[in-house]
A and B are shown apart, each in its own frame.
Chain A
């Protein structure tokens, strides 16, 4: 996968951390950093860094091939319900396809997103693995 160096760098904080937005009025928690609560529209919101733990609530397996991506295939893309409440999309790594099961506790870890070009930049960001400390 080819990335734009400048876009990736500008979004670095969102690749290295998981943020959620907590509404000071309705109390609900939404994924990502938001200026307004998506549920009640309030601007009384707080950005919180997620601890990065959650539960796998569904997943799909992608065999989609792009040049140079073969080393990482197949990719498992999961829906993770964070302990803070919101559901986010994330890649699940270090898993065998026959072992994958909904309900697995997962934790966010820093991994390579892509590094195919030996002369290019290595793109790092968070993925999920089954929790190490049970």
Chain B
């Protein structure tokens, strides 16, 4: 499924990273991991949502920043999508709470999407189609997660919290226009969480080669074949970041030099924010990009699938960066907490409640 699009773009973007951080080595020591395991996957620390934060509150902040940057009337937004695998409610949409709190009109499409870590980018793809077809003027796609990991699982070293939001709209109002979008999905048993289960599980041998690498490489090659673009045509490449090592490795496999991948890497300092992971990397790149530059972004979600999206930056980006907190400002804002505080904030401690 391919399409070349110059009529639709990113009108505004926003990010959110909670203030709290826990050192990955503290988690490693808590559960008896070899200290070197954190270096082997390149994770320094991860962001932890506070006790009063969740997917809705973080998604709200990122979306509000996207609207501030875009400067559009919330009443003109015709679709709101929240991509998440940590819905506060199993049944009751997060998207309607965020939309009402932002003052977005009741006349809209609104739903929560689930596809592990790439539901947020699926929201972008749907928004692009809705805007291009003329069904809506603007579509808001949010990726937000308070990522769960079984305490003591290696996943706990990285699973973190954060959100990113993109307001998709007409190209002539955009900070970056969509040039080409493709998606590659298959049934792959790399990572899952059963209904009613608190924490996800992962199929050990499946998470790397047959899942992350195969899907991202396939999606990006599909985009290259269908668009005629080459790695040398891109100024930056942003990939999903379950850790700091994988995006560098997949970039190498696809022929992207390290210096084009490194600027979009955020996971070593905030952890894997799941649905916000690649989208926060894209936000960081946009905030430092120059008009005319071309960016590749390739989110990945377990189960499994990857998108490859090519965007061209316009001159409107420069005036909008300063209107809301940047990813770098959010990464720099931090307070360290202990494992005990992290366990309290993330509801890992069993208590009698009533």
Contact = CB atoms under 8 A, between A and B. Distances in A.
Interface residues of A toward B: which range?
20 to 34
A132 interface: yes
Contacts of B54: 112, 122
B296 to A, nearest CB: 28
A93 B325 CA distance: 18
Given A71-B344, A117-B353, A122-B88, A133 B324 contact: yes
Interface residues of B, number: 28
Contact of A110 (B51, B61, B351): B61
Nearest to B53: A111
B353 A16 contact: no
Contacts of A12: 100
Chain B binding surface SS class? loop
B52 A127 contact: yes
Contact of B354 (A67, A94, A109, A110): A67
B61 to A, nearest CB: 6
Nearest to A127: B52
Nearest to B63: A110
B89 A111 contact: no
B51 A122 contact: no
Given A93-B50, A96-B335, A110 B103 contact: no
Contact of B53 (A16, A49, A112, A113): A112
Nearest to A12: B100
B254 interface: no
Interface in B309-354: 324-325, 329-330, 333, 335, 344-345, 347, 351, 353-354
B19 A17 contact: no
A72 B329 CA distance: 26
B207 interface: no
B342 to A, nearest CB: 13
B61 A109 contact: yes
Nearest to B324: A133
Nearest to B51: A71
A16 B101 contact: yes
A116 interface: yes
Contact of A133 (B19, B50, B329, B354): B329
Contacts of A67: 353-354
A17 B89 contact: no
Interface in A96-121: 96, 109-113, 115-118
The 5 closest A-B pairs by CB, nearest first: A16-B101, A110-B60, A111-B52, A132-B325, A112-B52
Interface of A: 12, 16-17, 49, 67-68, 70-72, 93-94, 96, 109-113, 115-118, 122, 124, 127, 129, 132-133
7 contacts: A94-B50, A110-B61, A112-B57, A113-B52, A124-B101, A132-B329, A132-B333
